[in-house]
C-alpha cells in the first residue's frame, strides 16, 4: 500500500450560500486545485447527503467534475450520512494507496438552507431507523438530548459543562474567517443571567439552543496524492497516516449501553493502529460536536481522557487552545457550521491547516499530528482519520 | 381667506404614554437598552436604515424601505400616533421597532428591523413593543403581519397568534394576525425579558448618541445569486437576459 499525502485544501465560507450546489463544491475544489498547483486529477469523489432531496440534484460528482473541466476523470458521489466527508476521503485514500490513481480530488458539499428549518431537521432525521425511530418522530436533537440526559446521570456532566463546550467552540470560530457563527457568547449570557432562558431556550431538554450546531451551507475539498506526486508539487508533506471506520446498531436503543460510543472507540483504535500513533501523541483534534455533549463523549472514546472524565478535562481547559489536547480550535461544527456532507472534509481541511502552521490566531503551536472524527448517524457509522506532518 | 394647508395635512397625534426604558443581557454578555426615540432623533435613525434598503436578503430591502418611509412620515408629521423604540448596545443601534395606536384598545405593529443579527435582538425588540402595546398603552389586541419567513416564525409561531384575516393590515393590505392580551400573558414568562430601571450609566450612553451599527446586514456578494439559485440554477435565464440587453444596446 502506498503512502497518501494531502497536497491541496480549499473551503468556502460556511453560512447560507445563495449559489447552486455544484458551484459551492466547485469553488472549494478550485481553491484546493490552486493550492496544490494542479489542473488535472485522476478521480473525483464528492461527499454529499441531501442533494437529491434538498436541491433536486443527483449525479453530483459528474456535475462537479464537468463544472471544473476535469474531464475525463473518474467521478463518484458518496453518501454516508453526516460521515460522508470522511468516507469520501477514505475512498480517495484507497484509490491512491492502491496505485489505481495518483491524484484524487475529494470534495464535500451541502446546501441545507435551501429548505426551511423544519424540512432540514426532518431531512437529517431520515438517517435514523425508519421503523424503530423515525416513525415515532425522533429527530437528531431528540436523540442527542436523551444521550445527554443519560450521560449526565451516569457521569455527572451538567448543563454548565455543555454550555462551556458551546462557548469554547463558538468563540473559537471568531478566529476562523470561514466559520458560520461570528458572534461571541458568554456563559453569563446563555446560562446565568435572568434573560438566559430566553436567549438560550431548551430545544430538547437538557439541550438548549446554543448546544446545537447551526444549519449551514458550504463546501470543502482536499487533494490526495501519492508520495512521488507530493514531492513533485512541493507542498508541505502532510500524510494521511491512519483511517478507521466502524459501525454500530442503527437504532440507538439496541445498544447495550447507549452512553458507550463503540463505533467511535473502534474507528479511533483502528486509525491509531494504522498510523502507529497513540492518543497522547495527537497535537490537535477535530471532533464531531453537532451537539455539545458529543464533544465531551467523543473526547473520551478516542482515548484523550478516561471514560466519564471528558467534562473534567474541559473544566480544566485541557481541550481549549493552549490546553493539553486542543479540540475544535476552528469552531468545530458548533461554530464553523455543519453542512453535513462537507463536514468530514472540512475537519481534514482544519487539521491540514494546523499542520501547515497556517492557523493564524487559532494555531496550535508546533502541531505535527492531528485527528478528525466524523460521526455519522447517531454514532452508527464513524470515520476517524489521523494526519502527520513529515517534513 | 387664507388656508393653513399644513393644519389639514398634519395628523393630530394623541398623547401616548411614554415607554419606560429597560435593559437585558444578550447571549454575548452585552447589555442592550430598549428606549423610546422621539421625533428629533429620527434623522439619526434614517441614515442607518437607508443602506439596508439595498440588502436583497431576508426581505431587508422591503422592510427597510417601509421603515424608512414610516420614520420619515413620523418625522414630517405625516403618520398618526406612531411610536419608535430603539435597541442599543453600548450606544450602537442594534434594532428599531415601531407601531402605532389605531384606536383606544387596538394597536398595530409596524416593523421590527434588526441591525445586528444572531442574538435574538429583533425578538427582544418585538417583545418590548408588544409589552408597550399591552401593558403601557392598554391595548387588548395588536394587529401584526410578517414580511419575512423569519418574522413569521418569531411572531406567528412563537406567540401562537390568532388569525384576523378579515382585517387587511395597513402594511400592504394583507390579512392580519393578532396578539391578544391573553396570548401575551401566556408568552410573557418565556419570551418577554428585561430589567428596570436601567442603570444610569447605561441609559446615559444610549441617550447620548445613536451610534452606527458595527456589523449591519450586508447584501449577498452576487446580487443576482438569490434569483439565480432559486429560479435559474443553470444560469440560462441570466445568459438570455444578457443577450437581450446586448441586442437592446445594438450590439447583436
Say whether both B197 and B233 belong to one domain.
Answer: no
Q: Which strands, in side-by-side order, build the sheet including B82-89? A: B22-25, B31-37, B82-89, B92-103, B106-114, B141-144, B175-180, B162-168
Cell of A238: 502532510
Judgement on whether residues B114 and B227 belong to the same structural domain of the protein:
no
Burial degree of A104 (CB within 10 A; 0-12, 13-18, 19+)? buried
* B230/B215 same-domain check: no
> What is the DSSP pairing of strand A202-204 with strand A238-247?
unpaired
Q: In this structure, are B182 and B242 located in the same domain?
A: no
Residue among B12, B15, B24, B36 nearest B132 (CA): B36
Angle between helices B121-131 and B181-191 (to 10 degrees): 140
User: What is the residue range of B246's domain?
Assistant: 221-252
State percent of chain B over pLDDT 70.
87
**In this predicted model, which residue has the larger pLDDT, B247 or A185?**
A185
Neighboring chain A residues of B124 at a CB cutoff of 8 Å? 198
Q: Is A173 within 8 Å of A350 (Cβ atoms)?
A: no
% of chain A surpassing 70 pLDDT: 100
Please count the structural domains in chain B: 2
Can you tell me the distance from the alpha carbon of B230 to that of B57, in angstroms, rounded to the nearest whole number?
A: 13
- The phi and psi torsions of B152 (rounded to 5 degrees) equal -60, -45
Nearest Cα residue in chain A from B119: A199
Asked if A201 and B190 come within 8 Å (Cβ–Cβ), the reply is: yes
Please indicate, yes or no, if residue B36 is contained in any of the structural domains: yes
Residue B193, min C-alpha distance to chain A (Å): 6
Alpha-carbon distance values, A120 to A140, A150, A338, B141, B152 (Å): 11, 26, 12, 34, 17
* CB contact (8 A) between residue B229 and residue A114: yes
**Neighbouring C-beta atoms of residue A125, cutoff 10 Å:** 17
Q: Is the pLDDT of residue A111 over 80?
A: yes
pLDDT at A316 exceeding the cut of 80: yes
B24, B26, B27: best to mutate for the A interface, most A CBs within 10 A? B27
8 A C-beta contact, residue A221 and residue A108: yes
Query: Same structural domain for residues B200 and B240?
Result: no
* B199 and B230 inside one domain: no
Scanning every residue of chain A, which has its alpha carbon at the shortest distance from the alpha carbon of B118?
A183
Question: Is A194's CB within 8 Å of B28's CB?
Answer: no
| CATH number of B143's domain | 3.40.630.30
Which residues from B are below 8 Å from A when comparing CB atoms?
Answer: 24-30, 57, 118-120, 124, 149, 153, 190-195, 220, 222, 225-226, 228-229, 233-234
The ipTM value here is 0.91
Count contacts between A and B (CB, < 8 Å).
67
Residues of chain A in Cβ contact (below 8 Å) with chain B: 18-20, 114, 116-117, 181, 183-186, 188-190, 193-201, 210
- The Cα A296–Cα A309 span in angstroms is 8
- Residue B153 shares a structural domain with residue B246: no
Partners of B179 in the β-ladder: B142
User: Who's near A104: CB < 8 A, 6+ residues apart?
Assistant: A41, A42, A43, A44, A45, A92, A95, A96, A223, A224, A225
The verdict on residue B183 lying in a domain is yes
- Residue B251 pLDDT > 50, yes or no? no
Residue B3 forms part of a structural domain: no
Report the pLDDT value the prediction gives residue B245, as an integer from 0 to 100.
53
Interface touch B222/A198, C-beta < 8 Å: no
pLDDT in the model for residue A142: 97
DSSP for B209-230 reads --BPPSS-----SSTTHHHHHH
d(CA A153, CA A156): 6
Which pLDDT value is given to residue A271? Answer: 98
pLDDT tens digits for range B147-184: 998 899 899 999 999 999 999 999 999 999 999 999 99
Residue B67 domain flag: yes
Is B191 part of any domain? yes
Residues B226 and B141 in one domain: no
DSSP B112-170: EEESS-SSSHHHHHHHHHHHIIIIIS--SEEEE--SSHHHIIIIIITTTPEEEEEEE-T
Predicted pLDDT at B223 = 46
Closest C-alpha to B120, from B148, B164, B150 = B150
One domain for residues B204 and B231: no
Residue listed under C-alpha cell 481553491: A31
pLDDT digits (tens, 9 = 90+) for B216-244: 998 766 544 544 455 445 555 544 555 55
Within a domain: B2: no
Nearest residue, CB atoms, B27 vs list A18, A20, A190: A190
Predicted pLDDT at B234? 52
**Rounded CA separation A50/A254 (Å):** 27
For A248-259, how does the pLDDT look when each residue is reduced to its tens digit (9 = 90+)?
999 999 999 999
Spell out the domain ranges in chain A.
4-116+215-233
Whether residues B156 and B173 share a domain: the answer is yes
For A183-194, give one letter per residue: b (16+ CB within 10 A) or e: bbbbebbbbebe
Helices (H), chain A: 21-36, 51-54, 60-67, 84-97, 117-125, 140-155, 159-172, 187, 196-199, 227-233, 262-275, 292-301, 310-315, 332-336, 340-355
Please name the member of A114, A186, A210 whose beta carbon is closest to the beta carbon of B29: A186
Residue B161 and residue B38 in one domain: yes
Neighbours of A22 (CB within 10 A): 25
pLDDT tens sequence across B23-66: 999 999 999 999 999 999 999 999 999 999 999 888 999 999 99
Distance CA B217, CA A230 (A): 42
Q: Residue B118: its pLDDT value, please?
A: 87
CATH number of the A4-116+215-233 domain: 3.40.47.10
Alpha carbons A62 and A21: distance in angstroms, whole number: 13
3-state class (DSSP) for residue A344:
helix
Task: For residue B1, tell me if it sits in a domain.
Answer: no
Note whether A334 and A169 are within 8 A (CB): yes
CB contact under 8 A, B29 and A188: yes
Say whether both B207 and B226 belong to one domain.
no
| Nearest C-alpha in A relative to B231 | A20
Amino acid at each position: 500500500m502506498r503512502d497518501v499525502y494531502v497536497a491541496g485544501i480549499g473551503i468556502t465560507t460556511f453560512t447560507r450560500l445563495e449559489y447552486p450546489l455544484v458551484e459551492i463544491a466547485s469553488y472549494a475544489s478550485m481553491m484546493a486545485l490552486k493550492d496544490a498547483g494542479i489542473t488535472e486529477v485522476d478521480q473525483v469523489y464528492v461527499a454529499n447527503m441531501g442533494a437529491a432531496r434538498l436541491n433536486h440534484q443527483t449525479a453530483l460528482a459528474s456535475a462537479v467534475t464537468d463544472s471544473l473541466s476535469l474531464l475525463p476523470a473518474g467521478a463518484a458521489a458518496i453518501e454516508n450520512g453526516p460521515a460522508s466527508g470522511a468516507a469520501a476521503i477514505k475512498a480517495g485514500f484507497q484509490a491512491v494507496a492502491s496505485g489505481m490513481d495518483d491524484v484524487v480530488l475529494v470534495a464535500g458539499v451541502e446546501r441545507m438552507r435551501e429548505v426551511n428549518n423544519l424540512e432540514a431537521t426532518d431531512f437529517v432525521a431520515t438517517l435514523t431507523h425508519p421503523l424503530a425511530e423515525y416513525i415515532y418522530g425522533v429527530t437528531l436533537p431528540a436523540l442527542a438530548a436523551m444521550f445527554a440526559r443519560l450521560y449526565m446521570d451516569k457521569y455527572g456532566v451538567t448543563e454548565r459543562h455543555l454550555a462551556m463546550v458551546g462557548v469554547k467552540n463558538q468563540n473559537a470560530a471568531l478566529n476562523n474567517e470561514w466559520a458560520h457563527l461570528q458572534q461571541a457568547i458568554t456563559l453569563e449570557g446563555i446560562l446565568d443571567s435572568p434573560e438566559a432562558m430566553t436567549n438560550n431556550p431548551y430545544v430538547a431538554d437538557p439541550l438548549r439552543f446554543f448546544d446545537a450546531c447551526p444549519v449551514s451551507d458550504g463546501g470543502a475539498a482536499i487533494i490526495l496524492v501519492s508520495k512521488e506526486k507530493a514531492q513533485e508539487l512541493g507542498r508541505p508533506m502532510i500524510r494521511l497516516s491512519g483511517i478507521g471506520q466502524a459501525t454500530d446498531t442503527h437504532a440507538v436503543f439496541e445498544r447495550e449501553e447507549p452512553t458507550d460510543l463503540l463505533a467511535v472507540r473502534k474507528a479511533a483504535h483502528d486509525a491509531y493502529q494504522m498510523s502507529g500513533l497513540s492518543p497522547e501523541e495527537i497535537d490537535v483534534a477535530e471532533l464531531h460536536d453537532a451537539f455539545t455533549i458529543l464533544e465531551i463523549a467523543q473526547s473520551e472514546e478516542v482515548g484523550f481522557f478516561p471514560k466519564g472524565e471528558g467534562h473534567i478535562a474541559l473544566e480544566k481547559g485541557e481541550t481549549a487552545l493552549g490546553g493539553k489536547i486542543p479540540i475544535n480550535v476552528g469552531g468545530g461544527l458548533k461554530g464553523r457550521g455543519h453542512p453535513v456532507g462537507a463536514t468530514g472534509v472540512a475537519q481534514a481541511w482544519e487539521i491540514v491547516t494546523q499542520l501547515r502552521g497556517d492557523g493564524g490566531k487559532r494555531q496550535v503551536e508546533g502541531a505535527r499530528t492531528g485527528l478528525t472524527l466524523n460521526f455519522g448517524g447517531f454514532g452508527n457509522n464513524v470515520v476517524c482519520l489521523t494526519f502527520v506532518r513529515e517534513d | 381667506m387664507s388656508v393653513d394647508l399644513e393644519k389639514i395635512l398634519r395628523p393630530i397625534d394623541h398623547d401616548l404614554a411614554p415607554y419606560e426604558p429597560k435593559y437585558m443581557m444578550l447571549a454575548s454578555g452585552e447589555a442592550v437598552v430598549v428606549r423610546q426615540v422621539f421625533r428629533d432623533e429620527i434623522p439619526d435613525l434614517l441614515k442607518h436604515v437607508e443602506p439596508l434598503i439595498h440588502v436583497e436578503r431576508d426581505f431587508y430591502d422591503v422592510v427597510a424601505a417601509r421603515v424608512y418611509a414610516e420614520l420619515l412620515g413620523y418625522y414630517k408629521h405625516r403618520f398618526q400616533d406612531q411610536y419608535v423604540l430603539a435597541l442599543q448596545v453600548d450606544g450602537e443601534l442594534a434594532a428599531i421597532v415601531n407601531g402605532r395606536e389605531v384606536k383606544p384598545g387596538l394597536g398595530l405593529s409596524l416593523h421590527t428591523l434588526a441591525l445586528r443579527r444572531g442574538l435574538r435582538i429583533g425578538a427582544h425588540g418585538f417583545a418590548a413593543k408588544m409589552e408597550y402595546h399591552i401593558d403601557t398603552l392598554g391595548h387588548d389586541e395588536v394587529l401584526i403581519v410578517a414580511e419575512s419567513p423569519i418574522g413569521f416564525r418569531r411572531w406567528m409561531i412563537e406567540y401562537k397568534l390568532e388569525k384576523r384575516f378579515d382585517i387587511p393590515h395597513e402594511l400592504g393590505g394583507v390579512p392580519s394576525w393578532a396578539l391578544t392580551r391573553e396570548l401575551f400573558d401566556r408568552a410573557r414568562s418565556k419570551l418577554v425579558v428585561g430589567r428596570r430601571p436601567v442603570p444610569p450609566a447605561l441609559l446615559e450612553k444610549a441617550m447620548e448618541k445613536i451610534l452606527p451599527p458595527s456589523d449591519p446586514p450586508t447584501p449577498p456578494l452576487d446580487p443576482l445569486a438569490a434569483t439565480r439559485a432559486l429560479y435559474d440554477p443553470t444560469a440560462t435565464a441570466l445568459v438570455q437576459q444578457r443577450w437581450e440587453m446586448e441586442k437592446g444596446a445594438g450590439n447583436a
